[in-house]
Amino acid sequence: MDTDLSKRYHSLDFLRAFALLTGVLLHGLSLYLEPIDGSEPRPLAAILFIWIHSWRMPLFMLLAGFFTCLSLSKRSSGSYTINRVFRLSAPIFLLWLFIPAIDETQAQMVKLPELLSWLISGQSFTLRLDHLWFLYYLLIFYLITFVITLLAPKGFTRITKINLSYGLIFGFWLPILILLNPLARPIGGIFAEIPLIFGDLKFGSMLFMLVFFVIGMQLFNSQAFIENIQRTKFFAPSLGVFSFVPVALMAWGIMKDEPFAFSGNLEMWIVNGFSALATVMLVLALIGFATRMITSGGALLSLLVRLSYPVYAFHLVFVYYIGATLILAGYSSVFVIIASCLAGLLGSLLIYYVFIYYTPLDWVFNGYKSSKFKVSSRGLKKITQHF
């Protein structure tokens, strides 16, 4: 790939923001997988949930790998690792220190932030990850990347310079993903297993995501492959056909005598094969569609990119608290999902513009160069160049 290092990849910027913001909708929909009021799950909510769930985080991990290679083409691996550790670990610390946990099954749904619980009652920190578990995995991936670039830079270059092709995807990466899928998605081949607390490792899901991270690195140097997946004859049928696969697998799992239980190894591998294939095809199709349709930036896209990270970081408490409250009050499922998602968006934006936008905390969410708060000290400027 003949890369222009000054180029902005507007389509992929959009996809990264889109993947984060669809998480707000995902959590709104999750309220109706097992409704708190004991009512029946809502099939349409479950269908949309599983469709988003099948591609969202693999897409985000692939984009993280792509932008890692882009950043390493402009700065040293040490500087980039400092940047990543700072910008990924800080939201997890904010989660522990200031963001309440929500347990909608309890009468008192909102729990004190762990810092306050420790100060008031001496209760130990749980080091929960909640919806930020993927930042934990990315921290691991970036540290692995740093070690490899430090100890085996030629090997790293050799791996990331491999040009992607359909043969490589379907002949090498897809079989690996199929083998990992039963470990990454142990419930019916579709529902992922994720770490709940810092220090917990779910090796199946971590390796599954790592594969997409590496594919993203190789995509950075594969302009011909990007041009291939941009073709309408690829992304249109891929989105149309493979969007039905995760929904069909969910329906299959629900209709079994023992939900999501495999009757034998053959059935297990067939289901996991289709699950992994659908994820790969949907991720590639979404990238192809976005790169075909979005060719320039603008104020709206810049705002979307700026707000997506803080919105995702802070939305969960609003979505679950408002959603659970409205469900118990007897409102319709459509109203609850819309209202809880709006609460997640508006609550997060309020936190961002009141407490973060004009402070150094925005270095975490949007980087030093894009933040309002600047420093004049030469010593501090040397530090902020990493952010």
pLDDT for the residue numbered 118: 83
pLDDT for the residue numbered 133: 96
Domain count, the chain: 2
Using one digit for the tens of pLDDT, what is the confidence trace for 30-78?
Answer: 999 999 998 999 999 999 999 999 999 999 999 999 999 999 988 889 8
Whether 172 is covered by a domain: the verdict is: yes
The answer, yes or no, to whether residue 378 has pLDDT greater than 80, is: no
* One domain for residues 91 and 216: yes
* One domain for residues 120 and 258: yes
Calpha distance 117→101 (Å, rounded): 11
Whether 258 is covered by a domain: the verdict is: yes
pLDDT for the residue numbered 123: 81
Report the percent of the chain where pLDDT is more than 90.
76
Average pLDDT over residues 300-305: 94
Examine the fold and report which residue of 301, 333, 367 is the final residue of a domain before the chain moves on.
Answer: 301
Average pLDDT over residues 176-186: 96
The answer, yes or no, to whether residue 356 has pLDDT greater than 90, is: yes
CA nearest to 297, candidates 6, 13, 5: 13
Q: Give the residue numbers spanning the domain of 283.
A: 10-15+37-301
pLDDT for the residue numbered 105: 65
Whether 196 is covered by a domain: the verdict is: yes
pLDDT for the residue numbered 6: 47
Q: What integer best gives the mean pLDDT of the chain?
A: 91
Calculate helix-pair angle for 244-255, 43-72, nearest 10 degrees.
Answer: 130
Contact 65, 219 (CB under 8 A): yes
Whether 307 is covered by a domain: the verdict is: no
Using one digit for the tens of pLDDT, what is the confidence trace for 83-140?
Answer: 999 999 999 999 998 898 877 666 667 788 888 888 888 788 888 999 999 999 999 9
Calpha distance 151→111 (Å, rounded): 45
Contact 79, 10 (CB under 8 A): no
Whether 95 is covered by a domain: the verdict is: yes
Calpha distance 201→212 (Å, rounded): 18
Whether 127 is covered by a domain: the verdict is: yes
Contact 110, 98 (CB under 8 A): no
* One domain for residues 70 and 150: yes
Whether 341 is covered by a domain: the verdict is: no
pLDDT for the residue numbered 5: 46
Whether 265 is covered by a domain: the verdict is: yes
Examine the fold and report which residue of 301, 319, 339 is the final residue of a domain before the chain moves on.
Answer: 301
Least confident of 94-108, 143-157, 235-249: 94-108
Two tokens at 247?
């929904």
Backbone angles phi, psi at 100, to 5 degrees: -65, 150
